[in-house]
């Protein structure tokens, strides 16, 4: 792609993001993906398994680029799909762009990075599916008392700001000092207050690609297998059908030099009914370097 074509993707998608609400209100069926982190080949395999747009509707929860070696290809494909299928292909959450800036300097120029940043600052920050599933990148905020607070946030956001925009994740300061951690009681109170059934968030590496918390009232998705080449984690994708039944597909990291392979998770769990008992016995989640425990979140600086 030429620089003009890449810039055009950013400008057009930015325009579309601003036309759509900052708190998306979506309808099932759709598939939800967590962090991608520039792992382009794994993104293609997610589409191979879930169906390339427009065969399926998608919601991505942030961290599209950074760390992976093909961040530019990843974000360009996602933006192109957003432009072509603006009513069935959705972004939310936040993203960092350090690796993207390196790619742009090498292949184009740093001015294009500013164009991407302007686009990212206009992303929606959360979504609600059929009034029952709350989706975000990081987690919960002690400042979030009602959904109107999100709807009133003005874009472009121009980077992290105080309050619920920060994707804060709980009630006590976390080890990064820029947001909060939370416990199961906070999850339950949030769901009851807003008449919701489930919170779906991303942001953390989880061993099996998805992991439940707070008696299956919250699920963390991470869609980048073998993250950074440091974790032997799987990538996960959650499918929500018309009845809000949730099932999970796993992209497993296979042996070295072998291709990644997909494996469906059988006996999918209903949102209201909860997950199968095996999830409760799942081992602890590997942590990102410098990050808190598996049931804690945080917003990257």
Burial of 193 (0-12, 13-18, 19+ CB in 10 A): exposed
Question: How far apart are alpha carbons 159 and 156 in whole angstroms?
Answer: 9
**Cα dist. 69→74, 77, 132, 236, 251 in Å?**
10, 15, 36, 20, 19
- Provide the CATH topology of domain 3-281: Purple Acid Phosphatase; chain A, domain 2 (3.60.21)
DSSP-assigned letter for residue 272: T
Q: Tokens in use for 125?
A: 């920050």
Q: What does pTM read for this prediction?
A: 0.79
Supply the pLDDT for residue 97.
Answer: 62
Q: Consecutive 10-residue runs of the chain (301 residues): their mean pLDDT?
A: 94 97 96 94 95 97 84 94 96 71 79 89 94 91 83 79 43 43 83 95 93 93 91 95 97 59 42 37 39 36 27
* CA distance between the termini of the chain: 30
Q: What is the DSSP string of 1-58?
A: --HHHHHHHHHHHHHHHHHS-SEEEE-SSEEEE-B-TT-HHHHHHHHHHH--TTSS-E
Q: How many residues does the chain have?
A: 301
Domain boundaries along the sequence of the chain: 3-281
Supply the pLDDT for residue 230.
Answer: 83
Q: Which of 272, 260, 186 is nearest to 223 (CA)?
A: 260
């Amino acid at each position: 792609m030429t620089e003009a074509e890449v810039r055009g993707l950013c400008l057009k998608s930015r325009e579309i993001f601003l036309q759509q609400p900052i708190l998306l209100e979506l309808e099932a069926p759709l598939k939800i993906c967590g962090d991608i982190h520039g792992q382009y080949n794994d993104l293609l395999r997610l589409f191979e398994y879930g169906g390339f747009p427009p065969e399926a509707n998608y919601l991505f929860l942030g961290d599209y680029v950074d760390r992976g070696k093909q961040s530019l290809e990843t974000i360009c494909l996602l933006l192109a799909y957003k432009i072509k299928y603006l009513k069935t292909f959705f972004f939310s959450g936040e993203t960092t762009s350090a690796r993207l800036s390196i790619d742009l300097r090498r292949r184009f120029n740093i001015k294009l990075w500013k164009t991407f940043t302007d686009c990212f600052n206009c992303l929606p920050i959360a979504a609600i599916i059929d009034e029952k599933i709350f989706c975000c990148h990081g987690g919960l905020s002690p400042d979030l008392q009602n959904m109107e607070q999100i709807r009133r946030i003005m874009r472009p956001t121009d980077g992290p700001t105080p309050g619920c925009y920060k994707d804060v994740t709980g009630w006590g300061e976390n080890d990064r000092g820029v947001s909060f951690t939370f416990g199961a009681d906070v999850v339950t109170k949030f769901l009851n207050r807003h008449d919701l059934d489930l919170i779906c968030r991303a942001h953390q590496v989880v061993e099996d690609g998805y992991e439940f918390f707070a008696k299956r009232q919250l699920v963390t998705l991470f869609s980048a297998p073998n993250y950074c080449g440091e974790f032997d984690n799987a990538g996960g994708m959650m499918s929500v059908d018309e009845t809000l039944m949730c099932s999970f597909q796993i992209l497993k990291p296979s042996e070295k030099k072998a291709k990644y392979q997909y494996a469906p998770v059988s006996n999918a769990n209903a949102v209201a009914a909860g997950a199968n008992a095996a999830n409760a016995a799942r081992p602890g989640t590997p942590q990102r370097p410098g990050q808190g425990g598996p049931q804690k979140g945080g917003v990257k600086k």
